[in-house]
């Protein structure tokens, strides 16, 4: 992979979107038992233990199995899921091929095309999803990662760049492995894995010729590789949370691990080697509200980009260290810029039109070709390749819209609503044309993360809700990325108590400001992962604000979540949510389960049994608690899905369930 996406640390969770980015989880064991304190809004009598499919019985899976799908909503969902966009793609070193992932078969697989707009060749198959990770510098190999039924116990595999059988590089039960990079001579594949202990990732390398794996460095904590040098030195990142981290250099000759940045700090750093020995390019928000790019040497920072007032969300550098590509995030709208490194000079690029978003993809190994995704909020995205030498710009992968007239689809507008303290909260709004003149029900969709960001992108869920006459809203409440450090840090730990009301304030604004002839619209709430948690908060703590709610893989209790999620995840999430040992009262106040007796409007909960991040026990906990309190709750568990829904048939089912649910309760 050519870069580490800062704004993808906790990327926006999407049901059927262009960027379902997996945050790897360590599986198979739970953290130490946390005793639930007796204080808080309401003492809990409910509990569970563990995560993954083994944490629930077959009886439970049978009882809450997805019901038979059919009818107009299911047929419409199937039709709109045919509106497919390919993944970003990685150009081959010679620029003659593009490798990419695609869900056209109903499951994510790896494909290639051998020329722009060429006929796609399927490279992988099977019932489990395959994820393209890298192409070797010599162009002979591609790297694939796979798990089983969404359990996120990823293994690493090699395949010839021409196709054929896949070769297992590394896979172990209850171990997560992640590809890092190929050596410049294509002899070695480097990866990280928690092979020695479940809460720590060490670095390994695989010899492609003799098929032997050796440990490069054993580490404690969550580590990944930022960059490497030809002499074997590694630039390593130690995660202290989902945002903050430290940067080290490892020298294999001496086995020295030298701290460079962030060891005794709580800061965000992303770094690459520059072309000068001893110098790094560092992306950080240490000195400003937004991430900016600096040169660093011997502890001194020199600003390169200056204060721009927009987030530089990530960057990559070519292997010859001559060019730098910046990804910019301006209030949810993405674009990119290319610079010569010495002297720092902006390169002229072809003008790109008719795209709300331009996402930087991957560089070819030699750094000449760059894949780009052009995306809009009312039609599927397409993939182009930019030649950084002759500046030619060609479409390689078109979108497909079989038998669907998209004239009804509208572009998202950037609007805002006031929080109770007067802070404007940005939101993207898809308002169907008919809703300009008549009262329509509204669906508010909160993103995951919580450090993610909703952006104006295309999804089947948003499209079908528009088609059915719903206004679709995606807010970026405080705690979201893309709006500066103060905004993203606003909900950390006890500060969440001060801004959780952003959830209720969205409904208050919509009822008051979007009323017609004195009648307020009915409002539904939905979301996945942390967005599912937000939906549960909306329906319980802020009961009555929304008329119906759907929670998908959402957190019910921050205490039981931290207790049962994987050890390394628990450590990373404490910096965001709070420490169960010292901040249990705050966690109780923020947990929807403790407000279950306040729920008074219909609730639909959807979860995957193999989910390693938010255990399926969270769904059972809330469902049982709400029913015990006498309110209406429905629960659906997909036995063959994890933290989200990947398989096409299951996607169509889930979309039809939530659409029919909102149709029933909001119209």
Residue 212 lies in a domain: no
Half-sphere exposure of 241 (CA within 13 A, CB side): 20
Q: How distant, in Å, are the alpha carbons of 432, 433, 434, 517 from that of 437?
A: 10, 8, 6, 11
* Structural tokens at position 134: 């890298």
Q: Convert the pLDDT of each residue in 571-584 to its tens digit.
A: 788 888 989 999 99
Asked if 456 and 333 touch (Cβ cutoff 8 Å), the reply is yes
CATH number of the CATH domain containing 509:
3.40.50.1820
Nearest to 271 by CA among 312, 314, 222: 314
Residue-wise pLDDT tens digits, 383-419: 999 999 999 999 999 988 888 889 999 999 999 999 9
The number of folded domains in the chain is 1
Asked if residue 34 has pLDDT above 70, the reply is no
Rounded mean pLDDT of 556-569?
87
Strands 98-102 vs 213-217: parallel, antiparallel or unpaired: unpaired
- Percentage with pLDDT > 90 across the chain: 79
Lowest mean pLDDT among 68-82, 432-446, 474-488: 68-82
- Cβ neighbours for 308, distance < 8 A, ≥ 6 positions apart: 290, 292, 328
Residues with Cβ within 8 Å of 372's Cβ and at least 6 positions away in sequence, in order, are 336, 352, 358, 359, 360, 361, 383, 384, 385, 386
In a domain, 396, yes or no: no
Q: pLDDT tens for residues 414-427?
A: 999 999 999 999 99
- 618, part of any domain: yes
Domain containing 516: what range? 52-79+403-666
Mention every residue, 6+ apart, whose C-beta is less than 8 A from residue 430. 377, 410, 411, 412, 462, 465, 466, 471, 472, 473
The confidence band for 27, taking pLDDT boundaries of 50, 70 and 90, is very low
Could you tell me if residue 265 is inside a domain?
A: no
559 has pLDDT over 80: yes
Q: Is residue 336 part of a domain?
A: no
Mean pLDDT of the chain: 90
**334-371 residue pLDDT tens:** 999 999 999 999 999 999 988 999 999 999 999 999 99
Query: What pLDDT, in 10s, does the model give residues 509-535?
Result: 999 999 999 999 999 999 999 999 999
User: Token pair for residue 142?
Assistant: 């591609």
Q: Are 108 and 101 in contact (CB under 8 A)?
A: yes
Is 126 within a domain? no
* Helix ranges, 312-459 (H): none
Q: What percent of the chain has pLDDT over 70?
A: 93
**In the prediction, which pLDDT does 403 show?**
87
Q: Is residue 552 part of a domain?
A: yes
Q: Please report whether residue 658 resides in a domain.
A: yes
Residue-wise pLDDT for 122-142, tens only, equals 999 998 899 999 999 999 999
Q: Which pLDDT value is given to residue 46? A: 60
């Amino acid at each position: 992979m050519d870069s580490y996406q800062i704004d993808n640390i906790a990327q926006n969770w999407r049901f059927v979107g262009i960027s379902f980015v997996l945050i790897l989880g360590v599986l198979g064991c739970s953290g130490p038992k946390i005793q639930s304190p007796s204080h808080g809004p309401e003492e809990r009598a409910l509990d569970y233990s563990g995560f993954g499919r083994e944490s629930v019985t077959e009886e439970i899976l049978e009882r809450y199995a997805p019901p038979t799908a059919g009818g107009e909503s299911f047929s419409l969902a199937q039709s709109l899921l045919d509106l497919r966009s390919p993944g970003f793609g990685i150009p081959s070193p010679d620029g003659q091929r593009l490798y990419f992932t695609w869900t056209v078969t109903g499951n994510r697989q790896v494909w290639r095309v051998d020329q722009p707009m060429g006929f796609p060749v399927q490279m992988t198959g099977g019932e489990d999803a395959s994820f393209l990770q890298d192409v070797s510098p010599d162009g002979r190999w591609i790297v694939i990662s796979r798990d089983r039924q969404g359990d996120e116990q990823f293994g690493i595999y090699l395949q010839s760049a021409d196709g054929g059988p896949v070769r297992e590089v590394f896979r172990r039960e209850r171990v997560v492995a992640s590809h890092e990079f190929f050596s410049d001579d294509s002899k070695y594949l480097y990866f990280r894995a928690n092979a020695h202990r479940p809460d720590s990732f060490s670095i390994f390398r695989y010899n492609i010729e003799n098929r032997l794996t050796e440990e490069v460095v054993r580490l404690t904590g969550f580590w990944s590789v930022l960059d490497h040098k030809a002499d074997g030195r590694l630039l390593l990142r130690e995660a202290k949370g989902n945002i903050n981290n430290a940067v080290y250099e490892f020298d294999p000759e001496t086995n020295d691990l030298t701290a460079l940045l962030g060891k005794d700090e709580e800061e965000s750093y992303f770094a690459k080697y520059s072309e000068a020995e001893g110098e790094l390019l560092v992306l950080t928000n240490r000195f400003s509200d937004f991430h900016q790019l600096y040169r660093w040497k011997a502890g001194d920072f020199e600003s390169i980009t200056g204060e721009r007032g927009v987030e530089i969300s990530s960057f990559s550098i070519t292997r010859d260290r001559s060019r730098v590509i910046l990804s910019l995030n301006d209030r949810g709208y993405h674009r990119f810029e290319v610079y010569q490194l010495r002297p720092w000079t902006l390169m002229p690029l072809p003008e790109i039109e008719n795209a709300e978003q331009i996402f930087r993809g991957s560089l070819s190994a030699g750094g000449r070709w760059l894949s780009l995704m052009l995306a809009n909020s009312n039609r599927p995205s397409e993939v182009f390749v930019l030649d950084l030498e002759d500046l030619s710009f060609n479409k390689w992968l078109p979108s497909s819209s079989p038998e669907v007239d998209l004239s009804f689809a509208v572009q998202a507008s950037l609007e805002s609503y006031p929080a109770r303290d007067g802070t404007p909260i940005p939101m993207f709004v898809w308002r169907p044309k008919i809703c300009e003149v008549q009262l329509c029900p509204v669906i508010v969709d909160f993103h995951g993360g919580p450090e993610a960001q909703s952006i104006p992108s295309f999804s089947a869920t948003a499209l079908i809700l528009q088609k059915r006459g719903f206004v679709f809203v995606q807010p970026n409440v405080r705690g979201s990325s893309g709006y500066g450090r103060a905004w993203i840090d606003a909900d950390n730990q006890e500060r969440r108590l001060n801004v959780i009301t952003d959830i209720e304030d969205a409904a208050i604004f919509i009822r008051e400001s979007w009323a017609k002839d004195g009648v307020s619209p009915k409002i539904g709430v939905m979301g996945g992962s942390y967005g599912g948690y937000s939906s549960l908060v909306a329906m319980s703590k802020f009961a009555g604000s929304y008329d119906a709610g759907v929670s998908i893989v959402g957190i019910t209790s921050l205490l039981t979540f931290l207790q049962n999620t994987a050890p390394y995840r628990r450590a990373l999430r404490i910096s965001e949510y709070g420490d169960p040992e010292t901040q249990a009262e705050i966690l109780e106040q923020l947990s929807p389960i403790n407000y279950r007796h306040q729920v008074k409007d219909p609730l639909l909960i959807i979860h995957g049994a193999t989910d390693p991040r938010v255990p399926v026990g969270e769904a059972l906990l809330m469902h049982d608690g709400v029913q015990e309190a006498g309110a209406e709750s429905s629960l659906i568990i997909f036995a063959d899905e994890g933290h989200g829904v990947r398989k096409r048939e299951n996607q169509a089912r889930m979309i039809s369930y939530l659409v029919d649910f909102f149709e029933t309760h909001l119209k």
